[in-house]
Amino acid sequence: MKPVKASSVSAFVTTPDRRFLHTPVDLANASRDSVLAITVDESRSRQTMRGFGAALTDSSAFLLSRLPPAKRDAALRGLFGTSGGGIGFSVVRVPMGASDFTHRGNYTYNDLPPGETDHEQKRFSIKPDEAYILPLLRRIRQINPALTVMASPWSAPAWMKTSKNINGGWLDWPAYAAYARYFVRFVEAYREAGVPVQYITLQNEPRLERDSYPTMRMEPGDQSRFVREHLGPAFRKAGINTKILVWDHNWDVPEYPMEVLKDAAARPYIAGVAWHAYAGKPEAQEIVRRAHPKMETHFTESSGGAFAPDFGGNVRWDIANLVVGATKYGASTVLKWNLALDLQHGPRNGGCSDCRGVITIDPSTGKVTKNEEFYALGHASRWVRPGAVRLDTADSGEFPGAAFRNRDGSLVFVGANNDAMKARTLRLTCGKRPAVTVNIPAGAAVTVVYGAA
């Protein structure tokens, strides 16, 4: 393959040996051999895309903030910009307080001495986020004004919980109203700080409890009651338009969001369902989507790590399961976990010991390394812009693919050759646009871009 100049139709590949990384390549002549044919149906559009991205955890923000200004800005432009090789991330997820990736340890926005309470949230403060997180979010919004911000709590303040501890336990029923005010104050404070929040989830991974980092248990009845009696009315009274998402956990338990959405009084306050990929398959999203077609679907977390060291395999997995799988079943956002981590997979606050960020930062040298998550999501985010619509695609397990049409009429196809041993010839047909043939190396990812119709 040879790099080529951009034209009305362009193709870009990433290969397992990293020789090609979003590299433009020749369009091939039609092959006489059997060709893997994929057809895109432009006549039927599906969900509108918000975009792709990752989480700006406290650890990620801390590492980015320690970079020299020029390197920091280059890293942010590479992640959120669209020129000079930037991959154009347009969604960022922010933990509300500490998570398992926090360099400063545990904190919330209203921490009190044992025995004290503050149900009116008079001592609420987002001051911890002013050190690193908010300045970076303001800069990212300058780079990409179309940015969507999501926020998720890992735990309520300890004084609101049955355990009186930020690690584990349940939200105490007498604190439900106070916790709704906590959410209201957060959204209002972030807006005043120059960072509007478009979505919140009620709780990150509500069926996970750990005594080693911030977690909080919430069952379906807890989520529906909290929304129905407290958070929904509190947002409405405050004039807050931030959308509420439920679940925010794995594909393997679609029964949970289905149970929450059974509550007819809570349902009008709920915008959709958020999903993670640590168990189950993306088809689970379809179970909820068919039952509640007006509900939005969002994919909010998946992490790579040293536990999966195969660069090519990781790129293929992310494209097959997230870029293709999650969007095929309705997701309008697709996010990885930490935006940035260091060489020791941290800073950590008691969680995953070998997770990998979208980029890796060496604090001692300032070197920034783009990982497979950068290239996998970048195969979509660099060319699929906010406001694009997903199109129906006839693909196969051998070559999973997804197609999107941008507002300007350009069409983007993203796919992966799941055969790590054999090159494939792809023939792509998209309505009345000219058919395109591309030779895809073994195990490689591809993006095909048609210019505006």
Q: What are the tens digits of pLDDT across the range 24-71?
A: 998 876 555 557 889 999 998 999 999 999 999 999 999 999 999 999
Where in the chain are all domains bearing CATH 2.60.40.1180?
A: 9-46+392-450
Q: Are strands 359-362 and 340-342 parallel, antiparallel or unpaired?
A: parallel
Lowest mean pLDDT among 132-141, 195-204, 423-432: 423-432
Q: Does 349 score more than 60 pLDDT?
A: yes
pLDDT at residue number 397 = 66
Q: CA of 344: how far to CAs of 275, 360, 361, in Å?
A: 27, 9, 10
Q: What mean pLDDT is predicted for residues 226-248?
A: 98
Write down the pLDDT at residue 3. 36
**Dihedral sign for Cα atoms in the order 366, 371, 373, 375:** positive
Arithmetic mean of pLDDT, 433-449? 94
Q: Which residues have C-beta within 8 Å of that of residue 107, sequence separation ≥ 6?
A: 97, 98, 128
Question: Does pLDDT of 413 surpass 60?
Answer: yes
Residue spans in the chain of domains classed CATH 3.20.20.80: 50-386
Above 80 in pLDDT, residue 6? no
CB 111 within 8 A of CB 172: no
pLDDT band of 410, cuts 50, 70, 90? very high
Asked whether the beta carbons of 408 and 389 are under 8 A apart, the reply is: no
Task: Identify the CATH class of 9-46+392-450.
Answer: mainly beta
For the segment 81-126, what is each residue's pLDDT rounded down to a tens digit?
Answer: 999 899 999 999 999 999 999 999 999 999 999 999 999 999 999 9
pLDDT value of position 381 = 98
- The fold of 50-386 is TIM Barrel (3.20.20)
Longest dimension (CA), the chain: 77
Using CA atoms, how far residue 280 sits from 57, 252, 285, 326, 431, in Å, is 25, 4, 10, 12, 34
Give the chain's end-to-end CA distance (angstroms, integer): 27
Total residues found in the chain within this entry: 453
Q: What is the model's pLDDT at position 4?
A: 34
- For 258, residues 6+ apart whose C-beta sits below 8 A from its C-beta are 287, 288, 291
Q: How many CA atoms lie within 13 A of 152 on its CB side?
A: 32
Supply the mean pLDDT for the chain.
Answer: 95
Amino acid at 160: M
Mean pLDDT of 322-348: 98
Question: What tens digit of pLDDT does each residue of 351-409 get?
Answer: 999 999 999 999 999 999 999 999 999 999 999 999 999 999 986 667 899 999 999 99
By three-state DSSP, how is residue 19 classified? coil
